[in-house]
Amino acid sequence: MPGSTKRVRRRTGGRRGKTAAIIAVAATGALVMTSCGSSGGSSTSSGAGPSGSSAKAEFNAGNKGIVNESDHAGGTVTYQLSSTPDSMDPGNTYYAFMWDFSRLYTRALTTFQPAPGQDGLKLVPDLASGLGAPSDGGRTWTYHIRPDLKYSDGTPITTADVKYAVERSNFAPEALSNGPTYFHQYLQDNTPAYQGPYKDKTGGLNSIETPDATTIVFHLNQPFADFDYLVSSPETAPVPQAKDNGSDYVKNVVASGSYMFASYQDGVGASLVKNPNWNPASDPIRKQYPDRINVQFNIAQTTVDNNLIAGNATMDLAGAGMAAATQATVLGNPQQKAHVDDAVSGALAYVAMSTNVAPLDNVHCRQAVEYAIDKQSVQTATGGPIRGEIASTILPTSVSGYTPYNAYPTTDNKGANSPDGLQKAKDQLAQCGHPDGFSTNLSARSDRPNEVAIAQAVQASLKQVGINVNIQQYPSGKYFTDNAGAPAFVHANDLGLMMMAWAPDWPTGYGFLEQILDGNAIKASGNSNLSELNDPNVNQMLAAAISNTDNAARTAAWGDIDKAAMQQAPLVPLLYRLDPLYRPDAATNVFVTPAYGMYDYLLVGTK
């Protein structure tokens, strides 16, 4: 089953986890210009390197440009994390921060250009020498990888390794279950179904062809115009079959990027050093600035924050923002605030409304909720403008196709706490036959204080129009398998409203909208289309757009789908989430990449 629940869990849940892991590197003496010396000085201006202008270290500087731009090499960069990653195996991870970080030691076919601002959403070829060539109306995609690539152990990289990496990560859930399985979903399967490389030792997936060592051809079961985004996942990073031992591969990952593992310890951390077999000439985007990159897990979030402020760590690997306590102290101090970048996380926080739970099965009742919720109150409850921008569309600002508009405007977004919002909400309630309001339940994840806070703000503003909301809390671990993501449970328990946060696996309209709006995506368990919207018009628009290989037309379509869906009021967009990140003085080449909604880890060095 495609991992939509994991998508949510990984991309927004995981990243927002309270526990922080750390990757720590002790700063050591600098070894200046070793193997990358040949590419010399002005590395950042060459190739597809950072293209933004150097920025002064002030509040939000990392959102606009590169802070502390420097080609200084040497030293140790330390990443700390409050939890542990799901895995550092490129084929077994779904955390956005791991997709960002894994690029240091692996190379997928494509990746996002390391650049601040909108440039960071641009796909560039990485292992491949160019973007994919579609044929057969977007059903077949061909890539050529760069010649003479080598792993860290000196053996050559071939497209057979890329094929193997896709097979192990998508077809072997018994060993590697963490990553998404889009390739399983969109590639033509064998007959009988392919069982993955661990169970089926004889053959492989027939729909991936490798006619020679540098060519790879993917045959899809439907036109899929976003395929270049799909192959930017670390799941296409080459894995040598001879070195693969399933779930234990994480202990001896063979590197294709500019760094390789010197050590790895489950639950403790890892240490990376320069990969001597990485050839800068083959790689326009990577550099080898620090001598060593240390990663430390399981360090309390406030400790991570304090280490960043004190200069004892370089980056918070999770990239999900500082703890509430740190936020308060840092923002109250102008000198520390200058080190903060309020990153667009790419996630939308919203309330899904079930189209199958009375009385919200009536569109007017749903529209009453749209008008009644005081989004300003929601924003204040969750930490103010620094934690989120008030939303009116389903697509967040960082996703291609975002078109600003507001289908349910109220004065200052204050919902029922503004006279016009109150009036409009009451009008809709009258049309839906409940002029005095009604009662319903709102589900939220008990282990997410922010979500519970938002739920209380929603509850308070709906009470203004007579809608009485009971908050039901469920643990996030089973939220999608057993509760909000299980339609039978939703109907049985009258969950008319459900708290939700959603971030795309890749920043296009399809990556964002399909799982939460498409009627075909509704599942008995692990459902992400919480409102169970099954509108023929929306379904058809989604299918038409993803098979359209005309980029501009496809991008425009996402905005149209957003508007068409909002007519049905399946959800109330609340906030485009923002994560305040701390940028230490010692960190160089720091900028936020909108592709992952956090700092881009590819070029981070230390002074």
Partner 1 sequence: MVSPVEFPESAEEARPEATLSGVSSQAVEGRSPWQIAWVRFKRDRWAVAGGIVAGCLVLMALLAKPIERIFSLDPNRFHQDLINPELLRPKGALGGISWDHPLGVEPQFGRDLLARIIEGSWVSLAVAFGATLLSVVLGVVFGVTAGYYGGWVDSVISRLMDIFLAFPLLLFAIALSASLQNGAFGLHGLTLHISVLIFVIGFFSWPYMGRIIRGQTLSLRSREFVDAARSLGARGPYILFRELLPNLVAPIIVYATLLIPTNILFEAGLSFLGVGIQPPQASWGGMLNQAVSLYQADPEFMIVPGLAIFVTVLAFNLLGDGLRDALDPRGL
Binding mask 268-287 for partner 1 (x = CB under 8 A): --------------------
Residue 358 near partner 1 by CB under 8 A: no
Task: Return the residue of 28, 190, 298, 446 that touches partner 1, per CB under 8 A.
Answer: 446
The contact mask relative to partner 1 for 394-433 (x = CB under 8 A, - = no) is: ----------------------------------------
Question: What minimum distance in Å lies between the beta carbon of 331 and partner 1?
Answer: 5
Collapsed DSSP state (helix, strand, coil) of residue 443: strand
Alpha-carbon dihedral sign for residues 228, 234, 240, 244:
negative
Query: Taking CB under 8 A as the rule, does residue 60 contact partner 1?
Result: no
Site for partner 1 in 459-478 (CB under 8 A): 459-460, 470-473, 475
Q: Are 541 and 564 in contact (CB under 8 A)?
A: yes
Residue 269: other Cβ atoms inside 10 A: 26
DSSP string, 113-150: -S-SGGGGG-EEESSBSS--EEEGGGTEEEEEBPTT-B
Q: CA dihedral defined by 96, 102, 107, 110, rounded to 10 degrees?
A: 10
Per rule CB under 8 A, is residue 383 in the interface with partner 1?
yes
The string of DSSP letters for 449-494 reads HHHHHHHHHHHHHHHTTT-EEEEEEE-GGGTTTTSTT-HHHHHHTT
State yes or no: residue 338 binds partner 1 (CB under 8 A): no
Q: Which lies closer to partner 1 via its Cβ, residue 225 or residue 469? A: 469
Q: Single out the residue of 385, 409, 433, 435 in contact with partner 1 (rule: CB under 8 A).
A: 385
Among 63-71, 77-85, 92-100, 442-450, the segment contacting partner 1 (CB under 8 A): 442-450
**CA 264 → CA 88, 252, 294, distances in Å?**
9, 8, 10
CB-nearer residue toward partner 1: 71 or 451? 451
Nearer to partner 1, 33 or 390 (CB): 390
State which of residues 327, 367, 392, 539 lies at the interface with partner 1 (CB under 8 A): 327
Among 57-65, 149-157, 193-201, 453-461, the segment contacting partner 1 (CB under 8 A): 453-461
The helix (run of H) or strand (run of E) holding residue 55 is strand 54-55
| Summary count for the chain: helices (H), strands (E) | 17, 24
- Please tell me the count of residues contacting partner 1 according to CB under 8 A: 36
The dihedral built from the CA positions of residue 117, 552, 223 and 511, taken in this order, carries a sign that is positive
Return the SS3 of 435.
coil
Q: Which is nearer to partner 1, 156 or 384 (CB)?
A: 384
**Which residue among 122, 449, 524, 550 contacts partner 1 (CB under 8 A)?**
449
Tokens of 606: 């230390």
The reply on whether position 331 binds partner 1 by CB under 8 A is yes
**Strand blocks (E) in 193-243:** 208-209, 215-219
Min dist CB 468 to partner 1, Å, is 10
What does the block give as tokens for 154?
């000196």
Taking the chain, what is the end-to-end CA distance rounded to the nearest angstrom?
A: 46
State yes or no: cis peptide before 359, omega within 30 of 0: yes
Q: Which is nearer to partner 1, 158 or 376 (CB)?
A: 376
Smallest separation, CB 63 to partner 1 (Å): 17
Rounded least distance, CB 424 to partner 1, Å: 21
- State phi, psi for 344 to the nearest 5 degrees: -70, 115
CA pair distance 55, 64, nearest whole angstrom: 7
d(CA 403, CA 462): 28
Q: Which of 325, 430, 544, 553 binds partner 1 (CB under 8 A)?
A: 325
CA–CA separation, 220 and 224 (whole Å): 8
Instruction: Return the ∠ at Cα 16 (arms to 252 and 172), rounded to 5°.
Output: 40
Under rule CB under 8 A, residue 303 binds partner 1: no
Which parts of 94-113 interact with partner 1 (CB under 8 A)? none
Minimum CB separation of residue 379 from partner 1 in Å reads: 7
Q: Does 497 bind partner 1 (CB under 8 A)?
A: no
Q: Interface with partner 1 includes 564 (CB under 8 A)?
A: no
The answer to whether residue 300 forms part of the interface with partner 1 (CB under 8 A) is no
Please report which residue ranges of 180-256 form alpha helices under DSSP H: 182-186, 227-230
- Is residue 390 at the binding interface for partner 1, with CB under 8 A as the rule? no
Shortest Å, Cβ 458 to partner 1: 11
Nearest CB to partner 1, comparing residues 26 and 325 = 325
Where do contacts with partner 1 occur on this chain (CB under 8 A)? Answer: 302, 323-329, 331-332, 376-377, 379-386, 446-447, 449, 452-453, 455-457, 459-460, 470-473, 475, 493
